[in-house]
Amino acid sequence: MMHFYYATKTLQIYSNRTLYKSFRMVLIILRHGESEWNKLNKFTGLIDIELSDGGKQEAISAGEILRGCRFDHIFSSNLARTIQTAEIIARVQNNNVAITQIPDFRERDYGDLTSKNKTELTEEFGSAQVTTWRRSFRESPPNGENLEQVTKRVGDAYQKHVQQLVSTGKNVLIVAHGNSLRALFVHLGIKNPVTIEKFEIGTAVPIQIDPVNMKFRYENAYELSSYQIIDSRGYPSLEVQCVDRRTKRVLGKGSTPSGASCGSTEVCELRDGDKDLYHGKSVFGAVDKISELNEHFVLSKKTMSNLSKCDEQFIALDGTEMKTKYGGNTSTALSFCMANTAANLMNQELYEYITDHYGVRTTEVGCNLPTPFVNIINGGKHGVTEDLKIQEFMIFAREDLSTSQQIRLYCEIYHTLKNLLVEKYGEQAKSIGDEGGFCPPIYSAEEALTIIEEAIEKSNYNVGKDVFIALDCAASEFYNTETKMYEIEKDKFVNSEELVDYYGDLIAKHPALKSIEDGFHESDYEAWKLFTCKFADKLMIVGDDLFTTNPKLIKQGLEEQWANTLLLKVNQIGTITEAIQGAKMVMDTGNEVIVSHRSGETNHAYIIDIAVGIGAKYVKIGSPCRGERVAKFNRLLEIEHKLLNLHA
């Protein structure tokens, strides 16, 4: 259902084409469908280029969206690509209205850039210069027009040909060009010379304009829908769906996880704060934010097939570094949803889409899948008590084993460990934490590591050969920012240098220990650098709260050698695109990336596809006993099964 709200009354267009004529007027603007030169990524300008086959289909789709609104007047420029688009829309509508060509609605004159390939120009002159030529309001391309000049001619033409029609309640469609329509936005006061420079108009996406109140909204064939669900800790989360408005078919969906121990630089998590609703944890506000996005989010098939564009749209609409306007949980659920939608539209598995779209993976996707990090003892905020300070004790298998062999190993060791814990500490020792690891009455890392090694050996595997050990210390949780001391064990306080030595002793005594995550407070950079300097050649030094998957922090950390491994969590930064950007920075230096779950998970297993798609060596997914964690194990097995069949 499309709502035309720009009048004293509301006009609604329904998918069954019923039109309620209680309105004054409707003004729709539309950039032409894709041209042959758009497809080749060339500056077209004033060259008269016709629509591509894809552009003709885009025009048909636009006509379908607008079918319920019969236009009294249709305007185009004098260039073929707008005339063809307008004619197709009129034909879809069975509308015999004459199309009026207005030469001043033509595209911007790109001067010397005309017919040049944008990618090649970017390689020659740099992205910043090409962006200035394309988008600057006042700076012109060489021997071409700037947008200020285009605004003058388009504004004059609008006042002469369209203004009176709109003011007398006529339904008007303007089919023009990206820059002439951007100029119209400035003329009407909807955008200004600054904001227009970052405003993009996609091909053949209808935009409804309210010239009186200076508002606009996109009219899409698809819509975003959201509702509240719960995560694995019983706290609310939100699920976002992309829905075909006509058929009500769901094209894709995604939800967002939530962490217990979080870095201070993670993007904002939008919750309602009403103590009478889920102890303040409800997300109905975030659900409403998704509804708001429908007005200003382009949901054409072309855009939905490009996850980077979808993520960039959200980032631009939110406009804040910490995603405080719409919420990082909103953006994460949306990004997962649009990833699922894109893969479905392209008829690909999600990992295949990510491989093709982002181009991070340098090897063919084969049967050498990411090795899971499996949480088997929980402490800290993930445990039953916080007396065991280190948050996670994990195991991971040697990389040359198949996924099936690795998961067999994990399950056998997990159950062996459970029996050992019950035998030594009693039945209560088999209670499990947020991520499925056991929560025994153990109070030191030494004791936990020793019993894990015993479980490995009793399961007939070799410690340090078949199976290795990893820690997630979550040290920010036991660091006192005033005294600068760490409570590494109950009532045992150490400073940064002493903590480096503490970990060094564990590494020496337990050589199978090959990964330590968040060993220090997120801003104790000198300790990080000291530890990395001493031990980077012996194990993975993993930054979680340290980096929060933020490309800016990752860049700084790589330059200053804080750590040698990134823990990637999409909801820390809020979009898959930004997370993969950070991952690529790390992988380009030859270092490792571990794609990770959160303590509050949902049953979606998209992190597995991300790990496979970017070629990450490891994926952190918890233990093999809770449904939301098991979903990730089983997705890995599903991918392995498919790949084995492909290569059979």
Catalytic center residues? 435, 569
Q: Burial-class residue 124 by CB neighbours within 10 Å (0-12, 13-18, 19+).
A: exposed
Q: What does the angle CA 542 – CA 544 – CA 546 come to, to the nearest 5 degrees? A: 95
Q: Comparing C-alpha atoms, which of 577, 554, 565, 567 is closest to residue 620?
A: 567
- 346/117 Cα distance (integer angstroms): 26
Report DSSP state, residue 245: T
Task: Locate all alpha helices (DSSP H) within 106-240, ordered by sequence.
Answer: 118-125, 127-135, 147-161, 163-167, 178-187
CB within 8 Å of 374: residues ≥ 6 apart: 394, 395, 396, 410, 414, 621, 622, 623, 624
Q: Are 578 and 609 in contact (CB under 8 A)?
A: no
Burial 134-165 (b: 16+ CB within 10 A, else e): bbbbeebbeebbbbebbbebbbebbeebbeeb
Label the pairing between strands 207-210 and 2-4.
unpaired
Sheet of strand 236-244: strand arrangement: 222-230, 236-244, 250-255
DSSP lists the bridge partners of residue 254 as 240
* Helical packing angle, 606-614 and 328-345, nearest 10°: 70
Phi/psi class of residue 169: alpha, beta or left (left: φ > 0; alpha: ψ in -120 to 50)? left
Helix (H, G, I), strand (E, B) or coil at 97: coil
Q: Are 622 and 632 in contact (CB under 8 A)?
A: yes
Helix (H, G, I), strand (E, B) or coil at 3: strand
Q: Burial-class residue 198 by CB neighbours within 10 Å (0-12, 13-18, 19+).
A: exposed
Chain centre distance of CA 405:
32
Q: Are 252 and 338 in contact (CB under 8 A)?
A: yes
Helix (H, G, I), strand (E, B) or coil at 223: strand
- 502/498 Cα distance (integer angstroms): 6
